[in-house]
Structure 1
Amino acid sequence: MNTTKNRWLIALSAIAIHLSIGAAYAYSVYTNPIRDAMGWSTTGITLSFTIMMALAGFTAAFFGSFVERKGPRKSAILAAVLFGLGQAGAGVAVAVDSLFLFIFTYGFMSGLGMGIGYIAPVSTLIKWFPDRRGLATGMAVLGFGAGALITAPLAASLMETITISMTFYILGISYFILMILGASYIAPPPQGWMPEGMKKDIASGKKTVKQDLSQLTAKEAVRTKRFWMLWTMMLINVTAGIMMISVASPMAQEVVGLTAAGAAAMVGIMGIFNGGGRLLWAAASDYIGRPVVFITFFALQLVAFVTMPNITNVLLFQALVFIVVSCYGGGFSNLPAFIGDMFGTKQLGAIHGFLLTTWSLGGILGPLLVSQIREATASYIPVFYVFTALILLAFLISIFLQLDIKREEKGEQKKEVVRTGKLEYSAASKR
């Protein structure tokens, strides 16, 4: 049955799921209207977003094995139910004036749905695109980044014309329908499936199949040094990116004197670089390799954080901010393909989930570090020095990881030569 499926429609299904859960990043458009209408504290309202984001990363880790066992369709349906109910339930919470219910629905239920929905289609998508792993995951994660760009103006418009509760009802139902449509089509390909073009290229000698470094279960993967090297790299990349996103506006106003209006425009453009970086960096990785992409991330960010304290030019400062944010988005889109390269696709979803704990931890550490440093020193300048040290550490780890991968690949090539020689010798002796 799966042979009749179109892999580009599979990609579209994954995008539909990620587009829906990515809408949660538009949360800030609800804060002031809810506070003004309900009289709830900003802290209480923001708490639901904090819970949702923290829970999403840890849910991805704990439900990774569930996704592997139940498959992408059942997992995506569960995600649709949880996320749709969470969003629509937030409307009920507003209608009955219950902040506790709002935190439970928007924070807890939506967080569970987001975490499961994030990892549900990824391993399947990679199996449908063995020739373009980076592009495949880049498309899905681009949908996640673009969700807020679509939802933010739509939600703002709806709240002005109808009630806040009705806005949540309409959007919750819409997310549920979109995710169910994506879940209804998504399915893994047959074992060993390849696109026809890839088969022809291999047969003609234009392309050789690059074998994954290993085929490991999630439990086996977390015992390797490569897993923890990648985990550390992701944690630092995510922490730096979320730090920048969380304070970009006040930082730019203080450091280079950007106006409030200019800073607001910069924040909007950052969304484009966040989403665009997810697709472009992932597509580039299919040609230059995932290890090289991560080395490039940290090299660029090293230059950015070293340079920023001494910059007075507004445009150059913004350009460096955009580079950091694009690397943040690119890290997420390259991660699944990098996992496949190093650990295989046997339990990619579960391994991906474990690595997404960096999403939750980075979401806590980034804003916490910058706020503590700013409060202690009354300046953003020391922030750049702290993150320069962290990025330098990640840069060194990324180089060591690439060297380790190359060493392993050479070892496998030698083993293959020995195996081939033995087979030839055996065939000759029989003759």
Structure 2
Amino acid sequence: MGKTKNRWLIAASAVGIHLSIGSVYAWSVFTKPLANEFDWDLTDISLTFSLAILFLGLSAAFLGHFVEKYGPRKAGILAAVFFGVGMIGSGLAINMESLLLLYFFYGVLGGIGLGVGYIAPVSTLVKWFPDRRGLATGLAIMGFGFAALISSPIMQNLIESVGIANTFFILGTAYFIIMIASSLYLEPPAKGWVPAGFEEKVKNGDAVLNQDLSQLTANEAVKTKRFYYLWIMLFINVTCGIAIISAASPLAQESIGLSPVAAAALVGVLGAFNGLGRIGWASVSDYLGRPNTYTTFFVLQIIAFPLLTVIDNPLLFQIILAIIYTCYGGGFASIPAYIGDLFGTKQLGAIHGYILTAWAAAGLIGPMFASWIREATGSYSQSLMVFTGLFVAALIVSLLIRLDIKKIRATQVKAKAS
């Protein structure tokens, strides 16, 4: 029998991977320097980020089975190779002054590294934390949310001191090393493992062993209604959240009269609430339950989005935006634990990959939809009301999934009785 690894170091390794790949959220730091140096169009530069998010979703879906078959260590190393080569290759693309090569290295290869790296540690964390699923996955995915706060100033300083290409070379090498080191510690626990003293706590009634609704493979999961309920809920939460994130600065300027500098500072502060929402809501979901947590997300946002159209008090406006940001981050962080609750841990990584296609779709649709409504109506108010309607639909879905769970539980009880 080998020595059991420390589950908190497993969590720290997951955070290391997510802090590295989460730097994609700081892409905007490169936008102006690239435009100034090469006179490239801002829309063309922004396409690099869109491609990265698209390939994140696609690779998470197609390589989820790789994670399950070969384990988190090999999957993490694969992610490190793709993301590291993507970053270093982006430096070569800059030296060659090729936007197409930048699309390929950062958007395609980097995006594949993002997708594999995002899901690689999550299913392992769920197995190491049977007592606190939400907290465990929230820790890792919090790293993804906070990464931009850490990497943005580093990127800015490097660009100013060594240039754009060298920034990609340095960061690509650093992220590769961090991701490899983190991946090498990743390992699933032995089958049936539980934390020390946990069984005794369960016997004494001081803890509850989570009873998964089922143990399904990814291909079995996609044939169920509850899979599509989860997909729709994540899609709506991310679509509306990304739309607000992409428009937060102009929305604040238009609604409460903030200056461009103050609005930019607000966006940075709100990024912290995105990260805090990931660990906060995911931890709360261990006590509230995942169905209650998602219903709460949608109720809060049904109230918050219309309020943004009528409130002119700067402090209250910013508090409401902060709440929306926490719900956006919390939706990402709570979904892996919800998947575990509904489908078990047999192929959680692969199922998570399939679900994340909702993120890829939302990343393309959300910002474009908000911009289109803004241009068509002359203000953000109409788009905020449309998003409120979408949250009403998401709330209905969050209630329908409860009925589905209740029906399956009843069937299981009946089968046991017979």
Same fold (TM over 0.5): yes
Which residue matches 1:32?
Answer: 32
The answer to whether the 8 Å contact 2:130/2:209 transfers is no
The AA in structure 1 aligned to 2:381 is I
The answer to whether the 8 Å contact 1:134/1:337 transfers is yes
Structure 1 residues 2 and 400: alpha-carbon distance in aligned structure 2, compared to 1, 3 A threshold: farther
Deviation at 1:2, TM superposition (A): 5.9
- How do 1:9-24 residues align onto structure 2 when only pairs under 5 Å count? 9-24=9-24
Which residue matches 1:425?
Answer: none
The AA in structure 1 aligned to 2:150 is I
The AA in structure 2 aligned to 1:167 is T
Which residue matches 2:393?
Answer: 393
Deviates more, 1:405-414 or 1:366-375: 405-414
The answer to whether the 8 Å contact 2:131/2:208 transfers is no
In structure 2, what is the Cα distance between the partners aligned to 1:3 and 1:193?
13
Does the residue aligned with 1:40 lie in a helix, a strand or coil? Answer: coil
The answer to whether the 8 Å contact 1:29/1:155 transfers is yes
Deviation at 1:312, TM superposition (A): 1.6
The AA in structure 2 aligned to 1:282 is A
- How do 1:231-250 residues align onto structure 2 when only pairs under 5 Å count? 231-250=231-250
CA deviation map 1:11-35 (0-9, x unaligned): 0111111110001111111111122
Deviation at 1:41, TM superposition (A): 2.5
The answer to whether the 8 Å contact 1:64/1:354 transfers is yes
CA deviation map 1:287-341 (0-9, x unaligned): 1100000000000000011222221212112111111111110000000000000
- How do 1:154-169 residues align onto structure 2 when only pairs under 5 Å count? 154-169=154-169
Which residue matches 2:264?
Answer: 264
The answer to whether the 8 Å contact 1:3/1:190 transfers is no
The answer to whether the 8 Å contact 1:2/1:188 transfers is no
The answer to whether the 8 Å contact 1:142/1:279 transfers is yes
In structure 2, what is the Cα distance between the partners aligned to 1:3 and 1:207?
25
Does the residue aligned with 2:197 lie in a helix, a strand or coil? Answer: helix
In structure 1, what is the Cα distance between the partners aligned to 2:186 and 2:154?
27
In structure 2, what is the Cα distance between the partners aligned to 1:102 and 1:282?
35
The AA in structure 2 aligned to 1:278 is R
Deviation at 1:43, TM superposition (A): 2.5
The answer to whether the 8 Å contact 2:88/2:173 transfers is yes
Q: What TM-score do the two structures reach when normalised by structure 2?
A: 0.97
In structure 2, what is the Cα distance between the partners aligned to 1:152 and 1:322?
20
- How do 1:173-184 residues align onto structure 2 when only pairs under 5 Å count? 173-184=173-184
Which residue matches 1:311?
Answer: 311
The answer to whether the 8 Å contact 2:285/2:293 transfers is yes
The answer to whether the 8 Å contact 2:137/2:282 transfers is yes
In structure 2, what is the Cα distance between the partners aligned to 1:17 and 1:377?
42
Deviation at 1:3, TM superposition (A): 4.4
CA deviation map 1:95-130 (0-9, x unaligned): 122222111111111001000100011101100000
The AA in structure 1 aligned to 2:379 is S
In structure 1, what is the Cα distance between the partners aligned to 2:302 and 2:205?
40
The answer to whether the 8 Å contact 2:130/2:210 transfers is no
Deviation at 1:160, TM superposition (A): 1.2
Which residue matches 1:72?
Answer: 72
In structure 1, what is the Cα distance between the partners aligned to 2:320 and 2:289?
24
Does the residue aligned with 2:168 lie in a helix, a strand or coil? Answer: helix
The AA in structure 2 aligned to 1:15 is V
Deviation at 1:362, TM superposition (A): 0.7
Deviates more, 1:341-350 or 1:96-105: 96-105
Deviates more, 1:310-319 or 1:110-119: 310-319
1:131 aligns with 2:131: yes
- How do 1:137-156 residues align onto structure 2 when only pairs under 5 Å count? 137-156=137-156
In structure 2, what is the Cα distance between the partners aligned to 1:150 and 1:227?
34
The answer to whether the 8 Å contact 1:214/1:342 transfers is yes
The AA in structure 2 aligned to 1:141 is I
In structure 1, what is the Cα distance between the partners aligned to 2:12 and 2:2?
16
The AA in structure 1 aligned to 2:377 is T
Deviation at 1:165, TM superposition (A): 1.4
Deviation at 1:204, TM superposition (A): 3.0
The AA in structure 2 aligned to 1:183 is S
Which residue matches 2:325?
Answer: 325
The AA in structure 1 aligned to 2:244 is M
Which residue matches 2:274?
Answer: 274
Structure 1 residues 340 and 172: alpha-carbon distance in aligned structure 2, compared to 1, 3 A threshold: same
Does the residue aligned with 1:4 lie in a helix, a strand or coil? Answer: coil
Percentage of matched positions with identical amino acids:
54
Deviates more, 1:130-139 or 1:376-385: 376-385
Which residue matches 1:221?
Answer: 221
Deviates more, 1:337-346 or 1:101-110: 101-110
CA deviation map 1:235-276 (0-9, x unaligned): 000001100000011112112222222211210111011000
In structure 2, what is the Cα distance between the partners aligned to 1:305 and 1:163?
41
Which residue matches 1:113?
Answer: 113
The AA in structure 2 aligned to 1:7 is R
Which residue matches 1:349?
Answer: 349
The AA in structure 1 aligned to 2:303 is V
In structure 1, what is the Cα distance between the partners aligned to 2:304 and 2:39?
41
Which residue matches 2:212?
Answer: 212
Gaps of 5+ in 1: 420-431
Deviation at 1:407, TM superposition (A): 3.6
